[in-house]
Amino acid sequence: MGLFGKKKVQVFEPPIDLKADSPSPAENQQREIACRQSEAAVPTKELVFDAVARRADRVMLDYSKDVVSGRYMIDGMWHNIDPRDRITGDAMLMALKCLAGMKPEERRARQEGKFLIEHEVTKVKFNGTITSQGVKTGERVIIDLAPKKKRVFKTLNDVGMREAMQEKLREHLRAERGIVLVSAPPGGGFTTTWNATLKSTDRLLRDFIGIEDEGKHETDVENVNMETFNGAAGETPDQMIKKLLLRQPDVFTLADLCNAATVNKMCELASDPNEGKLIVAGVRAKDAVEALLRVLLLKASAKEFAQNVRAVLNVRLVRRLNDTCKQPYQPPPQLLQKLGIPPGRVKALYREWQPPPPDPEREKREMKEGLPPGACPLCRKEGPQCGGIGYRDRTGIFELLEITDQIRDALVKQPKLEVLRKIARAGGHRGLQEEGIVLVAQGTTSLTELQRVLK
């Protein structure tokens, strides 16, 4: 193509703005110019735009010898995206590194940088964090996309807890003394459940003091007076209690029961027959029974803890079927029986929309209609989009374990997962499995999704 013969190509620029995020306006301008002038300016925008449109909160790019493979994290699951060739992929990374103030030529050492994203249509803003590090096969890049909007936490109703369970939980939270645990697997819904639980307490009638590590901010609830400690400097909550007691609180909330001394102190406070306090505390665990054992693993006094713990709330996140495209099917009677769903209770169960087998003719037709390959045709016109996944957003499976004397006894004498689970079941406790089946019967999620999250 000659110098004058160069055809002007109409390039579609995704409506998204990528901005630098340093304290210096001059520096930001320089970074943005470097990013804009990159030959991969448009592909870079396309990647970020697509990730945001598909509600990804993390993008991973793996640079190997010939190709750049990519994945999006959507509702807690990885989804592969189309690979890029190395030339485009390298230029995109160069542009992003320039924007985030990282060294583009450094491909081995770990680097981290920040940038800002603004959707030009919806006006939604995101904080972007990019980390890059050399690995055996080449370089791995992770881009985290976090909405800039302040977190607003939902109520127990909003997060999908059954009415009857809410009532039971509130009963424990109204108690004058004792310990109520809130637990979730690491990275799996703790913050939302913790804040929804605290929102449902009577914190307008009683005095609440919240204690948390200043490096791990979890609590965002009005009328809980927050006190922080510096965990990185070796401080622990138990050291603060003496001073905080002078304020005569009724309730202590601790987002993380981090050491034995804290657990023992909380047991002491909870057990006082006259001035006993209610303690609401967070633990990271896969289910309610495990949460109890996690506390004992801190080497706290099992006897004291068993006497004072009242209940454990646990959550497991599960993806919601997208209402626009979920597919009903008639479950065979044996399946309903296996799930413990009484005959006649549900007319249909639902599964996620499945992409049809490849068919070049159909795909050609769909392309003409403006439907990208792999997209879901059922929810393209109206209603929330599933992005070809069949699911959209997540909800919680909640489990509330109320501590009985049998469980207290076993916590001291036989603190083992299987023993405690058996006792809980015998006492009528409904675990994550049973609670999850309720969501399947309601058509909120699918059986395969339930099996995936509980495996």
Q: Which residues are at the interface with Zn ion (CB under 5 A)?
A: 325, 353, 376, 379, 386
Tokens 């909800």 correspond to 395
Q: Which is nearer to Zn ion, 367 or 417 (CB)?
A: 367
Q: Which is nearer to Zn ion, 100 or 325 (CB)?
A: 325
Q: Which is nearer to Zn ion, 183 or 385 (CB)?
A: 385
Q: Which is nearer to Zn ion, 379 or 401 (CB)?
A: 379
Q: How far is the CB of 324 from Zn ion (least distance, A)?
A: 6
Select from 433, 363, 368, 371 the least CA-distant residue to 397: 433
Q: How far is the CB of 353 from Zn ion (least distance, A)?
A: 5
CA atoms of 231 and 397, how far apart (whole Å): 31
Give bridge partners of residue 311 from the DSSP assignment: 180, 402
CA atoms of 396 and 394, how far apart (whole Å): 7
Q: How far is the CB of 356 from Zn ion (least distance, A)?
A: 13
Q: Which is nearer to Zn ion, 25 or 358 (CB)?
A: 358
Q: Which is nearer to Zn ion, 199 or 351 (CB)?
A: 351
Q: Which is nearer to Zn ion, 209 or 386 (CB)?
A: 386
Q: Which is nearer to Zn ion, 314 or 445 (CB)?
A: 445
Q: How far is the CB of 380 from Zn ion (least distance, A)?
A: 8
CA atoms of 442 and 444, how far apart (whole Å): 5
Classify residue 237 by its DSSP letter: G
Q: Which is nearer to Zn ion, 378 or 412 (CB)?
A: 378
Sign of CA dihedral 41, 42, 43, 45: positive
Q: How far is the CB of 384 from Zn ion (least distance, A)?
A: 9
Neighbours of 314 (CB within 10 A): 28
Q: How far is the CB of 367 from Zn ion (least distance, A)?
A: 18
Q: Which is nearer to Zn ion, 184 or 386 (CB)?
A: 386
Q: 379-387 contacts: CB < 8 A, separation 24 or more?
A: 379/322, 379/324, 379/325, 379/353, 382/324, 383/322, 383/323, 383/324, 384/322, 384/323, 384/324, 385/322, 385/324, 386/322, 386/324, 386/325, 386/352, 386/353, 387/53, 387/54, 387/55, 387/74
Q: How far is the CB of 72 from Zn ion (least distance, A)?
A: 16
Q: How far is the CB of 389 from Zn ion (least distance, A)?
A: 8
CA atoms of 428 and 433, how far apart (whole Å): 13
Q: How far is CA 51 from the centre of its chain?
A: 17
Edge-first strand order for the sheet with 208-213 is 225-229, 208-213, 251-254, 278-284, 178-184, 309-321, 391-402
Q: Which is nearer to Zn ion, 260 or 376 (CB)?
A: 376
Q: How far is the CB of 396 from Zn ion (least distance, A)?
A: 22
Classify residue 231 by its DSSP letter: G
Q: How far is the CB of 362 from Zn ion (least distance, A)?
A: 16
Q: How far is the CB of 393 from Zn ion (least distance, A)?
A: 13
Q: Give, for 326, the enclosing helix (H) or strand (E).
A: none
Q: 7-13 contacts: CB < 8 A, separation 24 or more?
A: 11/42, 12/42, 13/42, 13/45
Q: How far is CA 192 from the centre of its chain?
A: 8
Q: Which is nearer to Zn ion, 72 or 353 (CB)?
A: 353
- Please tell me whether residue 379 adopts helix, strand or coil conformation: coil
**Contact, 207 vs 246, CB < 8 A?**
no
Q: How far is the CB of 446 from Zn ion (least distance, A)?
A: 13
CA atoms of 114 and 96, how far apart (whole Å): 9
Select from 71, 166, 49, 77 the least CA-distant residue to 393: 77
